[in-house]
């Protein structure tokens, strides 16, 4: 057999999804075994200061369990060979829902980006103004005169994003429904790409999450580090979840849904995290949720620490709402359930980081390395290595879609080294919000 024949035969070797899952699981368990052995001295010393229970809570919550997750993520990314989406002979008609609240400054550009898509099928766009107090209604009414495919639903009373989407859903004409945030900009070909991915994915797919990127990344250091969060972390997690048959969040900012499946689960639930709760309802019904990594939408992200904290509070609260509404999903025998069990661990990990790692940094400044010391510093190279892997994958996708990764070194170092100092305490606040049933507010992110 000549060399070219060997290469062809090698390229035809198929590794099933279950096999990839098993390899990732074995590799990450092996990493955890090594980490537990390496952390014994750290655990023993910390036990002398805080006791065995708190020491285990902190060491495993700060290093061991996150290490397992990162190892599983890295191995899975190396094994991920996504099948190409294929062009369709006929593109189906689609309906787009845009819920808007006080989006006077951005809704026009969002509609322009849809018009520039040149989607090759029939298009219906429903803009639902959820009682905006600014000039959103006036801007949309002006757009209606230029774009005949827009249907304007003007709600005089603000009632929340889920209610607005459900009202718009009643006027949907087509079997494919796509949600787009009112302050976003669709990159060229995004609608075509996400529809092609939906038709190329396994037949039990009922939703596809698009790729969300940061539009206002140049605004300040807060938006610069979020650029890496969306480009790296969020994108990688969705890739891996999709690989194992169940993206856990078809985000409201840009996702495709099957109309019949939406009706089956009752549409968008009235809660803070309506998109995650809806996604889990679809997973619980036995459906698959995909991810289209090259259907890109650029959105505005929070520009202040206060806004960022509020956003991540809502995300954390949405996760707790999903567990409260769909506890039975933990009993489903499917690969995606593995990641739902991960979510059960997040309150522990966020709390351990908040009450352990952050105070440990302060103690380390005064020479007390009980929590933050050589062992935790050893995790930094691993974090950079994982980031490099994520970067290489996403840069390849960017190149294929005609995008360019801009230089953002400041944002990268903040993202890798300091970003969690904001996000994980914010998540703890979100869990407390839901625990004490604090008032819920309209949020789009």
The per-residue pLDDT for range 394-428, each reduced to its tens digit, is 888 888 888 877 788 888 888 888 888 899 999 99
Tell me, what's the pLDDT at 443? Answer: 52
The per-residue pLDDT for range 80-95, each reduced to its tens digit, is 888 888 899 999 999 9
* 125, β-bridge pairs: 96, 150
The per-residue pLDDT for range 183-201, each reduced to its tens digit, is 999 999 999 999 999 999 9
For residue 277, the Cα-to-chain-centroid distance in whole angstroms is 14
Can you say whether the dihedral through the CA atoms of 248, 254, 259, 262 is positive or negative? positive
Pick the more confident residue, 181 or 11: 181
Tell me, what's the pLDDT at 195? Answer: 97
Q: pLDDT band for 4, please (50, 70, 90 cuts).
A: very low
Average pLDDT over residues 367-393: 80
Tell me, what's the pLDDT at 1? Answer: 47
Q: Tell me if the domain spanning 94-331 has CATH number 3.30.360.10.
A: no
Average pLDDT over residues 208-227: 92
pLDDT at 378 over 80: no
Q: pLDDT band for 366, please (50, 70, 90 cuts).
A: confident
Tell me, what's the pLDDT at 83? Answer: 81
92: left (phi over 0), alpha (psi -120 to 50) or beta: beta
Which is it for strands 176-180 and 184-186: parallel, antiparallel or unpaired? unpaired
195 φ, ψ (degrees, to nearest 5): -70, -40
Q: pLDDT band for 5, please (50, 70, 90 cuts).
A: very low
Average pLDDT over residues 16-24: 92
Tell me, what's the pLDDT at 147? Answer: 92
All structural domains of the chain with their residue ranges: 94-331
pLDDT at 43 over 50: yes
Q: What is the mean pLDDT of the chain?
A: 89
């Amino acid at each position: 057999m000549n060399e070219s024949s060997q290469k062809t035969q090698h390229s035809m070797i198929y590794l099933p999804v279950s096999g990839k899952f098993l390899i990732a699981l074995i590799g990450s368990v092996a990493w955890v075994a090594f980490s537990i052995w390496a952390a014994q001295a750290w655990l023993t010393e910390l036990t002398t200061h805080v006791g065995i229970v708190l020491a285990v809570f902190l060491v495993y919550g700060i290093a061991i369990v996150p290490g397992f997750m990162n190892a599983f993520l890295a191995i899975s990314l190396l094994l991920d060979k996504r099948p190409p989406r294929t062009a369709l002979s006929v593109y189906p008609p689609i309906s787009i829902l845009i819920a808007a609240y006080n989006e006077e400054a951005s809704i026009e550009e969002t509609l322009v980006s849809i018009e520039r898509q040149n989607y090759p099928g029939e298009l219906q766009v429903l803009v639902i103004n959820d009682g905006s107090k600014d000039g959103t209604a006036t801007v949309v009414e002006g757009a209606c005169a230029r774009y005949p495919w827009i249907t304007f639903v003007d709600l005089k009373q603000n009632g929340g994003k889920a209610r607005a989407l459900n009202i718009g859903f009643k006027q949907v004409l087509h079997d494919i429904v796509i949600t787009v945030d009112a302050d976003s900009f669709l990159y060229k070909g995004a609608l075509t790409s996400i529809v092609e991915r939906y038709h190329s994915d396994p037949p039990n797919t009922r939703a596809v999450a698009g790729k969300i990127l940061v539009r206002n990344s140049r605004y300040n250091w807060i938006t610069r580090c979020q650029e890496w969060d969306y480009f790296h972390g969020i994108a990688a997690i969705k890739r891996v979840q999709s690989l194992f048959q169940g993206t856990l969040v078809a985000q409201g900012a840009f996702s495709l849904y099957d109309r019949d499946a939406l009706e089956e689960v009752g549409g968008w639930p009235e809660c803070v995290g309506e998109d995650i709760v809806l996604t889990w309802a679809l997973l619980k019904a036995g459906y698959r949720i995909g991810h289209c990594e090259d259907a890109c939408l650029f959105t505005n992200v929070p520009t202040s620490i206060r806004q960022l904290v509020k956003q991540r509070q809502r995300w954390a609260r949405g996760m707790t709402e999903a567990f409260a509404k769909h506890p039975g999903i933990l009993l489903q025998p499917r690969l995606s359930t593995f990641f739902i069990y991960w979510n059960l661990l997040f309150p522990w990990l966020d709390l351990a980081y908040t009450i352990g790692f952050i105070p440990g940094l302060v103690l380390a400044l005064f020479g007390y390395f009980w929590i933050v010391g050589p062992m935790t510093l050893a995790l930094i190279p691993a974090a950079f290595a994982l980031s490099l892997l994520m970067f290489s994958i996403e840069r390849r996708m960017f190149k294929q879609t005609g995008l360019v990764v801009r230089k953002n070194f400041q944002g990268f170092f903040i993202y890798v080294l300091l970003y969690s100092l904001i996000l994980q305490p914010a998540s703890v606040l979100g869990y407390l919000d839901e625990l004490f049933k604090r008032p819920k507010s309209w949020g789009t992110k």
